[in-house]
């Protein structure tokens, strides 16, 4: 009977309604969490560390250089050298002896004219160096990627639209296309991602991918816009600090992003306070489309994260209220437990004494 009275005091009709509402809110929070994680995982250009370091912790770090100041290819070589030196000094090795400890790439964005026998058209071009396609696993329709460090730098990858413009087909691997008058061999055809965020980020036009070296031949001054690197991350932010220390140019000329953890809820929630001002940039940096997409997604995830915090806070507050009600309406108190224990001890002592007097105690 006491238990029934206790339950009625704690779980009133009003309290039960709030518990039901809390259950619905918790379900909404889980839905928000799933949506947020799904959006974050959709950005393949931000998840290279997860793909590369399946058995150990890797960090993906990007450096974006000022469009006005620019950075030459020598800066990339210097970064690679300084990062490798730091890893050597700290005795950082991979678990697998066959695995590469550092993977890096660099890129520049511009315009080139691509020509075949019957067509000549200007296209957006991305000049790739190093392991660009490790960081950007574009969907291959035909052929394969090229390596930015190949001895022969005359390969080109077309997106489907560019292939149809130039050849009237997407199965054009091995065909010859002239880039600003220089012959290139088509090594692959890729599918360009679609969607509103892609269009807004600048990935809304036919694009071709050529080597950085080939891109440099087409312009008097070609500068690196973006440098990306994968390195072991044995402790939190180790990789980020290594890259920061390696970039020895004026801070106004670059920006560093730690891609691996940028979509974690703990990082996104910090953007809530900077919402509305974080997009302001005085460094004259022209971000490539994949970074624009990531920043756009951060802007989307920020209110989603804020909503998630509000929802889970509502649930936790109601749980605390319930626990307080259970505590204040409890029928057993500390003094009752103490009295029960003391009575048990006294009863045990009395039994022992009685057995000693009767001779039954051994």
Residues 6+ apart with CB under 8 A from 359: none
Q: Are 29 and 311 in contact (CB under 8 A)?
A: yes
CA angle 28, 33, 36 (to 5 degrees): 125
Q: Does residue 150 carry a pLDDT above 50?
A: yes
Cα separation of 110 and 226, whole Å? Answer: 13
Q: Does residue 351 carry a pLDDT above 60?
A: yes
The mean pLDDT of 249-276, rounded to a whole number, is: 78
Look at residue 169 in the predicted model and tell me its pLDDT. 92
- Residue 90 included in any domain: yes
- Residue 213 included in any domain: yes
The b/e string for 255-290 (b: 16+ C-beta within 10 A; e otherwise) is bebbbbbbbebeebeebeeeeeeeeeeeeebbbbbb
Cα separation of 272 and 237, whole Å? Answer: 21
- Residue 310 included in any domain: no
Look at residue 185 in the predicted model and tell me its pLDDT. 93
Residue 108 phi, psi dihedral angles, 5° rounding: -135, 155
Coil, helix or strand at residue 361: coil
Residue 255 phi, psi dihedral angles, 5° rounding: -140, 135
Could you tell me what percent of the chain has a pLDDT over 70? 82
Look at residue 10 in the predicted model and tell me its pLDDT. 61
The b/e string for 110-125 (b: 16+ C-beta within 10 A; e otherwise) is bebebebeeeeeebbb
- Residue 286 included in any domain: no
Q: Are 116 and 156 in contact (CB under 8 A)?
A: no
Q: Minimal CA–CA distance to 140: which of 165, 163, 157?
A: 157
Cα separation of 55 and 189, whole Å? Answer: 31
The highest-confidence range among 27-31, 99-103, 108-112, 207-211, by mean pLDDT, is 207-211
Helix (H) or strand (E) holding 114: strand 103-115
- Residue 103 included in any domain: yes
Pairwise pLDDT comparison (180 vs 346), residue with the higher score: 180
Bridge-based pairing state of the strands 207-211 and 120-130: parallel
Pairwise pLDDT comparison (42 vs 123), residue with the higher score: 123
Q: Does residue 135 carry a pLDDT above 90?
A: yes
Among 58-72, 81-95, 231-245, 330-344, where is mean pLDDT lowest?
330-344
- Residue 23 included in any domain: no
Q: Which residues pair with 189 in a beta bridge?
A: 142, 158
Residue 276 phi, psi dihedral angles, 5° rounding: 100, -25
pLDDT in tens, 271-326: 776 666 666 666 677 888 889 888 888 888 888 888 888 888 888 888 888 778 77
Pairwise pLDDT comparison (110 vs 281), residue with the higher score: 110
Token pair of 320 as six digits: 């605390």
Within the chain, where are the H helices? Answer: 2-10, 13-41, 48-52, 73-89, 132-135, 160-167, 196-201, 212-217, 238-246, 265-271, 289-328, 334-358
Average pLDDT, the chain: 82
Look at residue 308 in the predicted model and tell me its pLDDT. 83
Q: Does residue 62 carry a pLDDT above 60?
A: yes
Look at residue 331 in the predicted model and tell me its pLDDT. 62
Q: Which residues pair with 103 in a beta bridge?
A: 230
Among 192-201, 323-332, 345-354, where is mean pLDDT lowest?
323-332
pLDDT band at 173 (very low <50, low <70, confident <90, very high): very high
Q: Does residue 105 carry a pLDDT above 70?
A: yes
Cα separation of 252 and 272, whole Å? Answer: 24
pLDDT in tens, 189-223: 999 888 787 788 778 889 999 998 888 876 667 78
- Residue 122 included in any domain: yes
pLDDT band at 17 (very low <50, low <70, confident <90, very high): confident
The number of distinct structural domains making up the chain is: 1
Q: Minimal CA–CA distance to 109: which of 244, 210, 182?
A: 210
Look at residue 139 in the predicted model and tell me its pLDDT. 92
- Residue 121 included in any domain: yes
Look at residue 254 in the predicted model and tell me its pLDDT. 81
Look at residue 1 in the predicted model and tell me its pLDDT. 44
Its domain, for residue 104, covers 46-262
């Amino acid at each position: 009977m006491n238990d029934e009275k206790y339950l009625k005091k704690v779980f009133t009709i009003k309290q039960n309604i709030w518990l039901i509402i809390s259950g619905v809110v918790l379900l909404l929070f889980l839905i928000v969490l799933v949506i947020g994680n799904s959006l974050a995982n959709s950005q393949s250009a931000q998840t290279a560390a997860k793909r590369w370091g399946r058995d150990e912790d890797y960090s993906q770090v990007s450096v974006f250089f000022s469009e006005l100041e620019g950075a030459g290819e020598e800066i990339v070589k210097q970064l690679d050298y300084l990062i490798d030196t730091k890893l050597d000094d700290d005795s950082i090795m991979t678990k697998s002896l066959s695995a590469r400890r550092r993977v890096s790439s660099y890129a520049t964005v511009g315009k080139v004219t691509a020509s075949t026998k019957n067509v000549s058209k200007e296209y957006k071009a991305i000049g790739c160096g190093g392991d660009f396609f490790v960081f950007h696993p574009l969907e291959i329709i035909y052929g394969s990627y090229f390596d930015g460090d190949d001895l022969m730098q005359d390969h080109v990858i077309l997106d489907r639209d560019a292939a149809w413009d130039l050849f009237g087909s997407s199965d054009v691997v091995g065909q010859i296309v002239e880039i600003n008058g220089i012959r290139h061999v088509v090594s692959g055809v890729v599918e360009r991602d679609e969607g509103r965020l892609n269009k807004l980020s600048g990935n809304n036009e036919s694009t071709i991918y050529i080597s950085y070296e080939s891109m440099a031949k087409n312009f008097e001054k070609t500068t690196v816009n973006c440098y990306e690197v994968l390195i072991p991350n044995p402790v939190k932010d180790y990789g980020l600090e290594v890259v920061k220390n390696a970039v020895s140019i004026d801070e106004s000329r670059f920006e560093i992003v730690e891609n691996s953890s940028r979509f974690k809820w703990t990082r996104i929630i910090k953007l809530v306070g900077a919402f509305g001002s974080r997009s302001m940039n005085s460094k004259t940096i022209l971000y490539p489309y994949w970074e624009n997409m990531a920043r756009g997604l951060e802007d989307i995830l920020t209110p989603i994260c804020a909503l998630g915090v509000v929802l889970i806070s509502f649930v936790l507050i109601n749980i605390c209220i319930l626990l307080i009600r259970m505590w204040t309406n409890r029928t057993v108190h500390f003094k009752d437990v103490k009295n029960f224990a003391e009575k048990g001890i006294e009863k045990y002592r009395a039994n022992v004494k009685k057995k000693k007097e009767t001779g039954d105690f051994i």
